[in-house]
Amino acid sequence: MKLSLRIWRQSDAQAEGKMVSYEIDEVSEDASFLEMLDVLNERLIGEGEDPVAFDHDCREGICGACSLVIDGQPHGPQAATTTCQLHMRKFKDGDSIDIEPWRAGAFPVIKDLVVDRSAFDRIIQAGGYISAPTGTAPDAHAVPIPKQDADAAFSAAACIGCGACVAACPNGSGMLFMGAKVTHLGLMPQGQPERATRVLGMVAAHDEAGFGGCTNTGECAAACPKEIGLDVIGKLNRDFRKAAIRAA
C-alpha cells in the first residue's frame, strides 16, 4: 500500500518544529506501524537525511515506550492497542496519516516524536510504592487478599506508564496514571499504612510537574491501551479527600 505521511520533525528541545510530508510506497499490510516507520527511516538514511526519532523498545505492547499520536489519537485508531501493536491493515491504500508526539507541558519534546516522560517517575518517587526493604517480608501467605481485590489491583497495576492518558487529555493531566497506582496499592492490605501520605505526595508531585487537573471528560480512559477506567480517578479523588481532611 501507498501512504502519505505528515510527521512532526523537531531537531532538539529548543528548536522550532514542523509537520513534514513524506510519501511511502509498498508498505506491507502485515507490517506494524513502527515497522512502517523503520522502512521510511531506512530510506531517509539512504538519502542522507536524518531519520525520524521515536521511542520504542519491546514492540509487544508492554514496555510503554512507544508514544505516537496518530491522526490525533494517542496510539492510533485501534482501541486497547499500543502503537507498536497497531498494524497497517488498519489503514487503507492511499491514506494520509498525521504523526505527532505526545503534547503536554509536562512532557517536553526532546526530538521529533520523542518526549521526556521523567515526570511520571517523579510522581512514583513521591509515594508510588510500598516501603518493604529487602528481607523484611513475612511469608507470602501471611495476609490473604480477597480475589476480587487482587484482580482489581492487577487491572489498575496493568498501567504501562506510556502517557497516552496525558496526551489525550485536553488539560494535559496525569490523573489516570496516578489513579491507577493509587488504586493498585490502595487495594492491597500491604499498601494501607502509607495510603494517606502516598496520595498527598503523589498529587503534589503531579501538580509540580506541570500536569493539569481533571475535567472528567474521559478522554484518558478512551485512549488507554490497557483500558484503565475512570474509576481509578474516582478512587484517587476519594483517597485524596480523606487524606487531606485528616492532614488538615
Partner 1 sequence: MSTDLQHRPAARPDKRPKAPLAPWRSNIGLKIAMAVSGILMILFIIAHMAGNLHIFEGRESMNDYAHGLRTLGEPLLPHESILWILRIGLIASIAVHIWSGLVLSRRAHHARPVRYAHRHKNRGESRGAYGVMRWGGIVIFLFVVWHLLDLTWRTVNPVKEVPDAYGAVVATFSPERWPVTVFYLLALTALGFHLRHGIWSAVQTIAGPTTKWRKRTQATALAVALIIVLGFAIVPLSVTFGLVK
Partner 2 sequence: MSTDFYREGEPVADTKAPAGPISERWEQRRFSGRLVNPANRRKLRVIVVGTGLAGASAAATLGELGYRVANYCFQDSSRRAHSIAAQGGINAAKNYRNDGDSVHRLFYDTVKGGDFRSRESNVHRLAEVSTEIIDQCVAQGVPFAREYGGLLDNRSFGGAQVSRTFYARGQTGQQLLLGAYQALQRQVAAGTVDLHTRHEMLELVIVEGKARGIVVRDLVTGEISTELADAVVLATGGYGNVYFLSTNAMGCNVTAGWRAHRKGAYFANPCYTQIHPTCIPQSGEHQSKLTLMSESLRNDGRVWVPKQKGDDRHPADIPEDERDYYLERRYPAFGNLVPRDIASRAAKVVCDEGHGVGPGGLGVYLDFAAAIDRLGKKAVEAKYGNLFDMYERITGENPYERPMRIYPAVHYTMGGLWVDYDLSSNIPGLFVAGEANFSDHGANRLGASALMQGLSDGYFVLPNTISDYLADGPFDALDESHEDVVAARQAVDDRINFFLNNDGDRTVDSFHRELGKIMWEYCGMERTDEGLRKAIGLIRGLKDEFYRRVKVTGKNEQLNQELEKAGRVADFLELGELMCIDALHRTESCGGHFRAESQTEDGEAKRDDEHFSYVAAWEFGEDAPVLHKEALEFEYVKPTQRSYK
Residue of 216, 225, 227, 228 interacting with partner 1 (CB under 8 A): 216
236 binds partner 1 (CB under 8 A): yes
Task: Using alpha carbons, select from 198, 70, 67, 186 the residue that is nearest to residue 128.
Answer: 198
- By the 10 Å C-beta count (0-12 exposed, 13-18 middle, 19+ buried), 108 is classed as middle
Say how far residue 232 (Cα) sits from the centre of its chain.
15
193 binds partner 2 (CB under 8 A): no
- Residue closer to partner 1 by CB (options 109, 185) is 109
- Residue closer to partner 1 by CB (options 140, 248) is 248
Q: Is the dihedral of CA 23, 95, 226, 109 positive or negative?
A: positive
Q: Smallest distance, Å, CB 237 to partner 1?
A: 5
Q: Which distant-in-sequence residues (6+ apart) come within 8 Å of 79 by Cβ? A: 222, 227
- Residue closer to partner 2 by CB (options 61, 174) is 61
Complete edge-to-edge strand list for the sheet that includes strand 3-9: 18-24, 3-9, 96-100, 69-70, 73-74
89 binds partner 1 (CB under 8 A): no
- Residue closer to partner 2 by CB (options 81, 217) is 81
Contact residues for partner 1, defined by CB under 8 A? 6, 8, 13-14, 19, 69, 71-73, 98, 100, 103-106, 108-110, 116, 118, 121-122, 168-173, 175, 200, 203-223, 229-231, 233-241, 243-244, 247-248
